[in-house]
Structures are given as structure tokens and as C-alpha cells.
Amino acid sequence: MTETSERQGIEVEGLVREFKNGPRAVDGIDLRVAPGEIYGFLGPNGAGKSTTVLMLTTLLPPTAGTARVAGFDIASEGPRVRASIGAALQEAALDPLLSGAEHMRLQTALHGLGKAERRRRGAELLERVGLADAAGRRVGGYSGGMRRRLDLALALAHRPRILFLDEPTTGLDIQSRTALWEEVARLAAEDGVTVFLTTQYLEEADALADRVGIIDHGKLVAEGTPAALKAEIGRPTVEAVPRDPADQGRTRDVLARFGEPAGAAPKGAAVRLAGGESELAEVVRALDGEGIAIERLQLHAPSLDDVFLAKTGRSLEGAGEATEAAEPVEAT
């Protein structure tokens, strides 16, 4: 690894990928990821996340634009880029007939590690991801979480400075997801690894990423720290569901006094509080004053989904646990 590659993160300018007879999968993306940073690349299915990762990992040539990964140009210095990065791409690509240890042996050998180093590094990584006891078992019998952890270990075999994780926790249960998050966070914090993470999970981007880029239809529509992006949206949302469905219209009217409508609330009404969350008490009093019995009242802090909604005009569909910091309030 050169000094340059250790200093550099990811720099992307005007990156474009067009497919035959199709729209631009990636349409002029600019972004920078600092060394040691965890960058969350958030977007719905088909937004262009994986295509971007394939280009940055040199597996797909860009149609236009430039990108440097670890200081090397992805178009003209592919081998040097690959030597500097590790990648766990969408769907853990493992051989069900090989054991975890055999995967590690193959991966470390292909990266040119010596025999003794292969054994040592393989055992160390399997231990780190909690697969030491399952190392001799064929991967076909692994759970989804175990496969993802092995995938991560394989990506780290040659000590890359930059790690690409393409939807690493899709399909995993909460426990496996949390374990993977902890490992990724540790890699960045303790080992200084730069992490480029694509995800559909708002919660994941919020919990892990130092900065988030939101992509939609191949374009980067927002970028910043999760806190800054949410602060940009600013106001929290209150949603009220009346006990009697016939009161839905009156509920909507009452809430309309406190702000503009926000999102869909099929059984009630939701507004973005113009005066912030301090208005919640007044909302409760106003509903009570109108004699509307409320079954459920929830205050939503601004979420990355709100950011996505604000930037694209629609909600981030299929993004898992989209609501965050939901604070149920006692029904009136």
C-alpha cells in the first residue's frame, strides 16, 4: 500500500453510467469521502447505488466522469484500486460447497499472502467476525447473518484501506444487523478504514454513517451529516388518529392550524409543526377543545425519510424501519 493510497479516500466527479436502451443508471454524481469516514449511500431500489459501487470498485467502466479511489483512477489504474479496496457486494457471493476456512484460504491466496500469513490472517478474521467455531462447516449450512459476516471477513483479507459494502444487512434480522454495524463502526474507529456503505435502511444510515448521500434516479439529491440533513428539514411531524373514523375530517382541520400537511395518514391526519415540538401540548388542547377523542397521537422527529420526501417529493419505499424517534403520546 502506498503512502498516497493511505491518505486518500474517494473522490468522484460527474460520474455517469448509461446502459444500452436504458436510462442513465448513474447521472453525474459528485462526492467525496474522507479517509476513515463512514459514508452512507442511501436510496430506494434501482436508484443507482449498486451501479455506483460497481464503478468505484472497477467492475464496471463509467460512461463519463472520473473517480479516484485511494488516490488511483478507477478507469486507468484498476489493479491498484483493487489492491487498495475490499468489497462485500450485494448478496453474499459465497460457494455453498466450501467451508468458511476454505473461503478464507482461497481469498488470502488470491491476494498473494504467504502460506503462514494466510493461516494466521484467516483465523484472525474468522475469530473477529465470530465464525471461528463454524470455520470448518460448509457455507451452505450458514445462516444469512453468518454469510454476511464471512463476506465481510473475506473483504478484509488483504487489509484494505477502503471498504465497499453494498446493502450489507439486507434480509438480516435485527440481531445480525446490529452485530454487523458494530463491526463496521469498529473498523472505521479503530483501524481507520474508510467505509462506503449503500443501504435502503434509513436506520442503518442514521446509526452508522458520518455523512449520508441520498441518491434517486441516478442523481445525488442531498448530502451531509444525518443531523444536518434532518435539521435542514427542521420541523417535527405530528400525526393524530381519531377514535371515531367519522372525526377524521375535523381532526385534519384542527391539525391544519398548526402546520402544512405531511405525508400520508390514511386513518387520521399529519402535519409538520410550524412551531416545533413545543406546539404538541397546544395540539392536544385544541383536539380536546373540539371534543375529538383521539386513539393515537405520535410525534415524529425529522427522519432521513423526511429528508428524502422533501428532496424527491415521495417517501423512501421499502426502506425498512422508516420511522425513527417516534414518541407515542398518551391519547386524549
105 scored as a contact of another protein (CB under 8 A): yes
Q: Within 167-226, which residues bind another protein (CB under 8 A)?
A: none
**Interface pick for another protein out of 17, 82, 211, 272 (rule CB under 8 A):** 82
Q: Within 119-178, which residues bind another protein (CB under 8 A)?
A: 138, 154
Q: Which residue lies nearer to another protein by CB, 67 or 269? A: 67
Q: Which residue lies nearer to another protein by CB, 134 or 233? A: 134
Q: What residues contact 33, with CB distance under 8 A and at least 6 apart? A: 9, 10, 11, 39, 194, 196, 211
59 scored as a contact of another protein (CB under 8 A): yes
**Which residue from 59, 153, 154, 145 is spatially nearest to 106, judged by alpha carbons?**
154
Segment contacting another protein by CB under 8 A, of 10-18, 54-62, 206-214, 231-239: 54-62
Measured CA to CA, the distance from residue 261 to residue 309 in angstroms comes to 13
**Interface pick for another protein out of 83, 101, 240, 284 (rule CB under 8 A):** 83
Measured CA to CA, the distance from residue 70 to residue 193 in angstroms comes to 11
Measured CA to CA, the distance from residue 27 to residue 218 in angstroms comes to 5
Distances in Å between the alpha carbon of 224 and those of 31, 171, 209, 267?
A: 11, 27, 10, 34
Contact criterion met (CB below 8 Å) for 90 and 167: yes
**Rounded to the nearest whole angstrom, what is the least distance from the CB of residue 56 to another protein in the complex?**
11
Q: Which residue lies nearer to another protein by CB, 150 or 172? A: 150
89 scored as a contact of another protein (CB under 8 A): yes
Measured CA to CA, the distance from residue 167 to residue 199 in angstroms comes to 5
**Rounded to the nearest whole angstrom, what is the least distance from the CB of residue 273 to another protein in the complex?**
46
Q: Which residue lies nearer to another protein by CB, 66 or 298? A: 66
Q: Which residue lies nearer to another protein by CB, 76 or 175? A: 76
Measured CA to CA, the distance from residue 13 to residue 96 in angstroms comes to 39
**Which residue from 138, 191, 203, 133 is spatially nearest to 162, judged by alpha carbons?**
191
**Rounded to the nearest whole angstrom, what is the least distance from the CB of residue 120 to another protein in the complex?**
17
57 scored as a contact of another protein (CB under 8 A): yes
Distances in Å between the alpha carbon of 68 and those of 29, 31, 156, 293?
A: 13, 11, 20, 59
> Where does this chain bind another protein (CB under 8 A)?
57-61, 74-79, 81-83, 85-87, 89-91, 93-95, 97-98, 102, 105-107, 109-112, 138, 154
